[in-house]
Amino acid sequence: MTRRTMAVSAALLVAALAVPRADILEQVLVKVNGDIITKTDLEQRQVATLRQRDPNLQPNNEAALQKALAEITPGVIVDAVDELLILQRGRELGYAMSNEQFDSIVENIKKENKLEDEAQFQAALKQEGMTMADLRRQLERTMIIQRVQQTEIMSKLQVTDAELKMYYDSHRETFTTRPQLTLREILVAVPASDRGVNVGLEEEAKGKAEDIRKRLVDGEPFARLAADLSDSPSKANGGLVGPVTMDVLAPEFQEALKGLKAGDLTPVLRTSRGYQVVKLETMETATVKPFEQSRDEIADRIATEKRRGEFTKFLEKLRGQAIIDWKNEEIKKAWELGLKQAAEATPSAR
């Protein structure tokens, strides 16, 4: 995004926010342990979030813009404050990006984007509306946040064998496959009529279906009869349907298939489409994935749940210890709403 585009978008965002403008270059919205978040900081985050959420959102559609802003701003301001708190914790721990680290990352960026010389790299930065200093700040913020999360959260995510087994036993259905069926069908369609059931056509279709079933019992190939006589699109595949699970079938099919073995035929069935004969081609029974084969998957799931819980507790601790001085009541209300929404969306970590 160019600086001009950003400026235009930000101006529209400010108008939609209905936050009083201050006659200063930078309006401070909040101080967090002495560090500030300005109106420009917030606007840039809003623009980025809006573009990610709906790339087709038109800036001149004021009603849609106001609605979108009302929806995203609580989460945006919460993320901005939380990110600043994490960065402050990282600085307390002495984390910083060295010149060597920065130079190495820049070289990787050049290689990945096939920027062969410094002039091309600088042109690419300019196109994104960034300077080298902007890039360094962005990369350093990302690095510090990752290191803090590794130190404060990831190191606490040990998963014991007892936890793995307990999860497996209490979520056994997760590791159980449902029975799957492969069927073949032949449909004799009954033409629909506004006048109701045409008895003659009904009896003709039923008689044809009964004759087809008899020919199947006598040994004629199902696939050939389906291709020649079926009114279902599945005739192109010899009447083959599936694999499917039993629960996706209509109740009349589920009932008719009970007790059948592979190769058995159902009686002629009257369905919403007409008269059908169905053959049970194959049936796979439910299987349970053994614990040892599920171990890595379970460990990932437990670690993800723990990570979410530990991260929530970590942020709550940082917020509780922070001195947060709000300079704009509307943005403070948005922050409080964002915290409430986050709490409702995330199970309690306690």
* Omega within 30 of 0 (cis) for the link into 243: yes
CATH number corresponding to 3-157+305-345:
1.10.4030.10
Tokens of 89: 């914790």
> How many Cβ atoms from other residues are within 10 Å of residue 186's Cβ?
29
How far are the Cα atoms of 69, 214, 235 from residue 228, in angstroms, in the given order?
60, 16, 8
Instruction: Please enumerate in sequence order all residues whose Cβ is within 8 A of that of 238, keeping only pairs 6 or more positions apart, or say none.
Output: 184, 222, 223, 224, 226, 227
Q: How far separated are the first and last CA of the chain, in Å rounded?
A: 42
Closest CA to 87 of 41, 131, 37, 142: 142
CA distances (Å), 323 to each of 35, 93, 317, in order? Answer: 10, 19, 12
The b/e string for 129-161 (b: 16+ C-beta within 10 A; e otherwise) is ebeeeebbeebbbebbbebbbeebbeeeeebee
Query: 324 versus 294: which is more confidently predicted?
Result: 324
pLDDT digit string, tens, across residues 77-107: 999 999 999 999 999 999 999 999 999 998 9
The predicted-structure confidence for 155-176, as pLDDT tens digits, reads as follows 777 888 899 999 988 888 888 7
Domain boundaries, the chain: 3-157+305-345, 179-285
Token pair, residue 166, equals 């307990």
Q: What is the rounded average pLDDT of the residues 7-27?
A: 46
In the prediction, which pLDDT does 147 show?
Answer: 92
Residue 350 CB burial class (10 angstroms; 0-12, 13-18, ≥19) = exposed
179-285: what CATH class? alpha beta
Q: What is the mean pLDDT of the chain?
A: 83
> What average pLDDT does this structure show over 253-270?
84
